[in-house]
Structures are given as C-alpha cells and as structure tokens.
Amino acid sequence: MPLDRHLLEGLLTTMIRIRRFDERVTELFKAGHVKGTAHSYVGEEAVATGACANLRRDDYIVGTHRGHGHCIAKGASINEMMAELYGKESGYCKGLGGSMHIADMDLNILGCNGVVGAGLPIASGAGLSSKLRKSDQVTICFFGDGASSQGTFHEALNLASVWRLPVVFVCENNQYALSTSYKRTVSVDAVADRGVAYGIPGITVDGNDVIAVYEAVREAVARARRGEGPSLVEGKTYRWMGHSMRAELAPYRSKQEEEEWIQRDPIAHLERDMLDQQLISPERLAQIRQEVEQELEEAVKFAEQSREPAIEVMERALYAPRLPVSAPPPKRGHELTFTEALNEALKQEMRRDPRVFVMGEDVGLVGGIFRVTQGLYDEFGPERTRDTPISESTFVGCGLGAAVTGMRPVVEIQIWDFVACAMDQIVNQIAKFRYMLGGKPTVPLVIRGPQGGGIRMAAQHSQSLESWFIHIPGLTVIAPSTPYDAKGLLIAAIRDDNPVIFLEHKLLYQPVMKEPVPEEPYALPIGKADIKRDGTDVTIVATQMMVHRALRAAEKLADEGVNVEIIDPRTLYPLDEETIVNSIKKTNRLVIVHEAVKRGGVGAELCATVVEKAFGYLDAPPLRVGARDVPMPYNDILERATIPGEEEIIQAVREVLA
C-alpha cells in the first residue's frame, strides 16, 4: 500500500534521529561522559520506527536494554534521555536508571529493561489493564531473539493468547544474543513460527525495511484494537556494533557478514527510494540531518549543564507516601477465622474500588486451595477473579504491568515456595520499578499467599521465606497473626501505592482460630507493631503462628512468676523499631521467635537493630528461637521437632533470665 510523503518523511527523520543519537552516545562513552554502559541500536532503526509509527500517544511500549530507539520512536525527549545517560537529575529517571531503564510514564513508555525477556510479562499486564478498563489501548513489547528462549517468552505469549490481550510482541532478531548466533540457540528458522503454538498470528518481515515493519505492525495493532488478541511480529535485522559499549569481546562475526548487513542499511534504503520517487529533495534531506545534529548538540549541552542528583532524590524515589490511616477500630463484631477475614477484606475492597482485581492459580471457581478467594468469582466474575496458567513469573509480572497502568492487582501465589519461580519479576522489576523511574510511578500491587509448615507438606511446600523479601529495598512485607490484623492489614496493603508482600501462615487458616472482627472495612497502619500481651520481665518478639505459641508459653511462664511481654511486628518491613526498643527499655531482655531457620533470618536483623539502638538496656544477650537448620521433613514427628514449640520458647525465656 503506498504511503504518503508526510508519513515517509516522518519515518526517515525518526530513523536518522535514532542513528545519530546512538552514534553520539558512543562518542560520549569513549570520552568518559557516559558511564556504566549503553547498548547501541545502530542498524536496527527500522523496527522501532516502523512499529511505533502505528501507535497513539496513549498506547504503551515496553523496551529492552537496547532501548534508545524504542523511546525515541515513541516520542521521548532527546534532552531528557541524554541527561539520564549522563546520570543527571534532569534525566528521565533522575539519574537512577541509566541507559537500560529509560522510561516516560507520560508517553506510556513503561521502561526499558536490563533483564532479557523480563518485559514480556509486564507488557502482558499493560494489555490486561487495557482490557479490564475497557480501553482500546495497545501495548507493543520489544524483545530480542535471545529472549525467545526464555520461559517468560512462552509463558507471556500463552497468557496473552488465553486472555486475548491487546499486545503486539515484536521480536528484533538481530542475529546474535550477545555473541551467540540465534541459529545455534533457536530451534526454528524464524521466531515468528512459534506463534502458532499459542494460537496467534506470527509473521516475519525484513527488519531493515521500515515500510514492511510498519505495515506488518499496523495490521497487528488493528487486530489488537478490535479485541482479537495478540500477534507476534519478527523483524530480521542486524546490530552494527557489539553487544554493548563496555563488552570488549573477541571477534565473533566475520567482516564479510558485517559488511553485507551494512549494505542493507535501513536508512540508506529509504533515502534512495524517496529520492528516486521524488518524495524528498536532497535539500530537504540535508535539512533534516542538520536539524537532528542541532537537537543533539542541544541535548548534550542540556545534559552537561544539568545538576547531579542529591542523595535525598534517591531516597525519596524508593517508596510512595503511605496513605494516612484513621484510628483502628476496637476488636468487636462478628467472629471470623483468618481465612474469612482475608476473604471479607478482598470482597470489600473489590466492591469499593473497581480497579482491584484478583488473579492466581485456581482463585476463581474453586476459591483457591485454602478458600481465601471463595465467592469472589460468583460476585465479580471471571474478569476480576482471574484463574491464571501455572506460570508464576508471568502472572506476577503481569501484575506489575497492570499496577503501573491504572489497576490495583492482588496476585495469589498458591503455595509460597513457588514464589521462587517469580523472583526476577519481584526483585528486579517490581521492587525497583518506581525507583529506577526516578520515583514517578506508583506500584499498587499485593502479592499474597500461604507459607510455613505444620500440615505435612514437606520440603518444597513448607518454607518460611520472609527474610528474602525484607532484604530487598522497595518492598513492603506484612505478616499478620490474627483475623483482626489480617483484614485490616490486607485492606491497607491493597490501598497502598507500593508493592506489598503479604504472608499468611497455613496453620492460621484453621477454622478453630476465630476472633471478633469489625464488619465495616478498616485499614491498620503499615509499619506499626501490636503488643499482644503486656509484661515487665522479658520481651518476646514473635511472628505469624509463633505469636500464638508465644502466648501459650507466656501463660505457662506466668505460673512460674515470669511476666512476659509479647510483641507482634505485623509488618516486617517497615519495622516498628520504636515499640520494640521501648519494650526492651522496660524488660531489659529479648527473645525472638520465628518459624524460619535462624540463619540470615528476621531474628538476626532484629538482634542487630536492638544491639545498635538499645544495647545499654540489655541485661542479657538476645536469644533467637527458630526452626532447625534443615528443610521441612514430611514425617509428622520430625516436622514437630523442626518447628519451634512452646517448650523451646519457655527454655529461651528461662535462659535470658538466668
């Protein structure tokens, strides 16, 4: 189909802008002005240009580590991009993201990504958000041929196909994953051939022909807007430069191969066609190049004159402000179990806010294997109570994409041990998203699920992994121990604008563990501990199921004349250090009890905090009580021997009093 002069000139200008930006960045890197590293897009300009020319301003893109071209093609500011590469505060991410993480939420550029294949789940989440909001926005997800060997590629295509998401997956097949030819790592001739496995169209085009890319993506975008689901478009292209500006690798491509691809220069190809067809004059072509050079000079000047970011800029970027919480209501109302309290919190928040939805394995019709989501499907339907494929990495990453594009997802991990499958998305994407984008977006995402032992599910279904998450800046970690706390803290987590890890101990789901819970919605303050029992002789800080065992131990110790104070942190990060320190100032002794193994656990962090802030008040060294240093056994006698019980707690208290 013939394209008009105006469109062709726009395509050509964008490609020249991308080419010259990266050529200039290479010069600046060699001169020491651009630090770290950057990945050149020279030679691949036709893919991003042709693809993004089909998008509206409100459409989304997700880029890769080689993302300068993606951002420029979507309309990003050259000035702010250059300032980011210089690490300056005026950069897109205030100098916190750098070359691989440039984003512009105003243009719906959802960030480039330094982890291969990690953007595919995020793009699926943006597509899901569009679907849930009944918008016709489309997401383009760029990825390289190397990413097509990642599990997230297959998981994301499957999920997008099952849910008919408006996502166009664009593979930039530049022939090499770092130094390895795709012919040695991909089992099909074309990555696009893999689309058929997921029931979606797959098309391969000449990635150096901007018109071919434009037309292929135009049809895919139109299909997505019509609600017909995702497409896979592969552009076969070539990067002229090495993998990155820092990676000085031995030669892995022949000079002949490089020269053959350079002869297929996408810019020169379009220039020749336009000149031959008299769609542009040599004078206008020279003018475009001159204007681009002027833009670049201004961008470099802007970056050089911008100020360095202060430490305060960095620290403010990590967490969004916490919402104010009114005084907690008294513990009154109907009697609920822990499970019922969580269920009531979910239902009330989903009624209150249409942006809240739940997804995870088996959360729909059956209500989850622990019945926390029971009844949600009947009331809110399959759109807002979404059963996912068994692909934790992708549906967790999908939660991120949905959260940063207007929704408030609650993602259930069926058994918490399976969270290991999603750690890249949690640690490298979710926890860092706001920070790497300079503190601009919010990430209102809750990831919840059952952890811990006690029900004979053995080593791969019984771990207590909270210490993994308190170590990661950007995450909030909540671990309630009672139905009252569970409801109030889950509501607070859903309303919070930060990613929350919400841990539920399996034994707390027992139907016999009931207490009065207010019927109305309420939020408890995040980062505020609760004193479960007042005392004067010893402070016990206990978490989750161990709170109940500590309370029973305290009753027995009372018979010996020992008055124990028990504190439940409720939030493991941020930690209410003030309440714990004030208790130690009163009791002068500390025992910490958690189910996880002691090594590298929450107890170790608490001990360090107390030694730093209340050492002078201690009359004895703090003691930790935790699980034996072994994986959880299946045998019930051995399981009970592994998990701390009342007697271990009592013995620890006696020891600190000795």
In angstroms, rounded to a whole number, what is the distance separating the alpha carbons of residues 373 and 370? 8
In angstroms, rounded to a whole number, what is the distance separating the alpha carbons of residues 317 and 91? 14
What count of Cα atoms within 13 Å lies in the side-chain half-sphere of residue 253?
22
Q: Can you give the pLDDT at residue 117? A: 92
Residue type at 495 in one-letter notation: R
Residue type at 478 in one-letter notation: I
pLDDT digits (tens, 9 = 90+) for 574-616: 999 999 999 999 999 999 999 999 999 999 999 999 999 999 9
DSSP-based three-state secondary structure for 656: helix
Q: Can you give the pLDDT at residue 292? A: 98
Between the two ends of the chain, the Cα-to-Cα distance in Å is 88
In angstroms, rounded to a whole number, what is the distance separating the alpha carbons of residues 478 and 446? 10
Q: What is the pTM of this model?
A: 0.96
Q: How far is CA 104 from CA 101, 109, 373, 438, 440, in A?
A: 10, 5, 35, 10, 9
Catalytic residue at 39? Answer: no
Catalytic residue at 243? Answer: no
Q: How far is CA 461 from CA 60, 152, 506, in A?
A: 38, 23, 10
Q: How far is CA 459 from CA 362, 420, 501, 536, in A?
A: 22, 14, 21, 38
Do 162 and 197 touch, CB atoms closer than 8 A?
no
Do 259 and 252 touch, CB atoms closer than 8 A?
no
Closest by CA to 234, choosing from 119, 148, 349, 166, is 148
Q: Which of 392, 504, 595, 639 is catalytic?
A: 392
DSSP-based three-state secondary structure for 255: helix
In angstroms, rounded to a whole number, what is the distance separating the alpha carbons of residues 278 and 238? 28
Residue type at 482 in one-letter notation: T
In angstroms, rounded to a whole number, what is the distance separating the alpha carbons of residues 453 and 505? 8
In angstroms, rounded to a whole number, what is the distance separating the alpha carbons of residues 524 and 526? 6
Q: Which residues, listed in sequence order, are joined to residue 170 by a DSSP beta bridge?
A: 142, 233
Residues of the chain with pLDDT under 50: 1
The two beta strands, 530-533 and 564-568, are: antiparallel
Residue spans of alpha helices (H) in 175-254: 210-225
Q: Can you give the pLDDT at residue 244? A: 81
Q: Can you give the pLDDT at residue 2? A: 67
Q: CA quadruple 93, 95, 97, 98: dihedral positive or negative?
A: positive
| pLDDT above 70 coverage of the chain, percent | 99
Cβ neighbours of residue 204 under 8 Å, at least 6 residues apart? 190, 191, 192, 193, 234, 235, 236
- What are 381's two structure tokens? 């339907």
Q: Which of 461, 505, 548, 594 is catalytic?
A: 461
- What are 162's two structure tokens? 């099952």
